[in-house]
Amino acid sequence: MLQGKKQLAVLIDPDKSDNKTLEEITARSAEGGVDYFFVGGSLLISNRMDECIKILKQAGNIPVVLFPGNTLQMSNKADAILFLSLISGRNAEMLIGRHVIAAPYLKLSNLEVIPTGYMLIESGRPTAVSYMSNSDPIPADKNDIAICTAMAGEMLGLKLIFMDAGSGALNAVSESMISQVKQSLSIPLLVGGGIRTPEKAAASADAGADLLIIGNATEHNPSLIAEMCSAIGK
């Protein structure tokens, strides 16, 4: 995952996108040069995961990566899974507990398992992630905490660091925090949450994000996908 260039992932919540919208997102992603589809949500109330992935696979060679909110959000129809450890919080279930439950299933699956340090960053409002994970985000102005947390994640052997302001974030992760965290790492940095405009995407990429994740904005306006791709030089 990641090839030493700026990349873009479109996050799909199966609960929020009907088939028609998914088909449009899929087509525009293929045209624009999107690198990955991430699929998942904090809480899925429908049973549309496999159906959603099937539609996304129509894009051809864009890998589908599970971004699970819990251990029930799994599917062998995907290509890979972010094995998320919530290193910004102190909830043991999110650090290792649920991973123990998921491990036997993943061992038998064909999914590529990608150990990922997940860091929730304060975004100006409570998010579904903070509520469902029962954890406090890292304050938006505490770059030092973010830096040390990311470094610890890398030292523990995690392969990616994912800083997320959360779905529906008022404020995206600041360029200052992105830049300083990136400088402390030798592994790829993923950034998502609150990236609604091409200008913000470009600024986050320039600050040091290796992979940007966009979601809510494209659900409402799939035409933004091409603009986001163009903004980061794709």
Q: Name the domain count of the chain.
A: 1
pLDDT at 1 over 70: no
82 in a domain, yes or no?
yes
**Which residues belong to the annotated binding site for sn-glycerol 1-phosphate?**
162-168, 193-194, 215-216
Rounded average pLDDT over 216-233: 92
Q: How confident is the model at residue 45 (pLDDT cuts 50, 70, 90)?
A: low
Rounded average pLDDT over 65-76: 88
Rounded average pLDDT over 178-198: 97
User: What pLDDT does 217 receive?
Assistant: 86
Rounded average pLDDT over 172-187: 98
**Which residues belong to the annotated binding site?**
13, 42, 162-168, 193-194, 215-216
Which residue in the block uniquely carries the two structure tokens 């993923």? Answer: 190
63 in a domain, yes or no?
yes
183 in a domain, yes or no?
yes
pLDDT tens sequence across 17-42: 889 999 999 999 999 999 999 999 86
Task: Output the pTM of the full model.
Answer: 0.94
Choose among 154, 177, 156: nearest CA to 165: 177
User: What pLDDT does 91 receive?
Assistant: 93
Separation between Cα atoms, residue 68 and residue 38, nearest integer Å: 9
Q: Which residues constitute the domain of residue 110?
A: 7-231
pLDDT at 219 over 70: yes
**Which residues belong to the annotated binding site for Mg(2+)?**
13, 42
2 in a domain, yes or no?
no
Extended strands (E) in the chain: 7-12, 36-39, 64-66, 80-86, 112-120, 160-164, 189-192, 211-214
CATH number of the structural domain spanning residue 173: 3.20.20.390
1 in a domain, yes or no?
no
Poorest-confidence range of 39-48, 90-99, 154-163? 39-48
208 or 216: which leads in pLDDT: 208
Rounded average pLDDT over 101-127: 95
